[in-house]
Amino acid sequence: MSDVNNTVMNPEEISEIKPITLRFKDTDQVYTLEFNRATVVFAEQRGFALNPMNGHDVIMDKPMSVLEDLFYYSFQMHHRGMSKVLTDKILYEDLGGLSSAMIERLISLHAKAYGSLISGDEDKPKNPNIAVEL
């Protein structure tokens, strides 16, 4: 695994991250792997602890379960209700595991969902009619 860091990603970098597409040539089945706020909340409610601030530590602590779960949850945005049994089959039998590039992209896609929660500009709210006083 290359560069998984403990910092929040730059909003400009986040917007450029494209989903992963799995295209099965023999069946014409296409899966799109991506996250949004709802899928991140779905994962968190089930105990998934990865976030942009702790990514490296969580993955290094339990890489097998965290990466399996990250893969599973990445299906839930576009293929809601897809079973873990099926995503594990795709992961192990069809893909033969995750490449470093896929791991990095999945982590980045997961972090991208936090873009709406964490402001990139600390001094300017999205709505110019709101003043934030700390």
pLDDT tens digits, residue range 66-119? 999 999 999 999 999 999 999 999 999 999 999 999 999 999 999 999 887 876
pLDDT reading at 52 higher than 90: no
Listed in order, strand segments (DSSP E) in the chain are 20-24, 29-33
- What is the residue range of 106's domain? 11-116
State how many domains the chain has.
Answer: 1
pLDDT of res. 122: 67
Q: Answer yes or no: is 122 within a domain.
A: no
- Report if residue 132 sits inside a domain: no
Q: Is residue 66 part of a domain?
A: yes
Question: 51 lies in a domain?
Answer: yes
In a domain, 75, yes or no: yes
Both tokens assigned to 84: 């873990």
Asked if residue 125 belongs to a domain, the reply is no
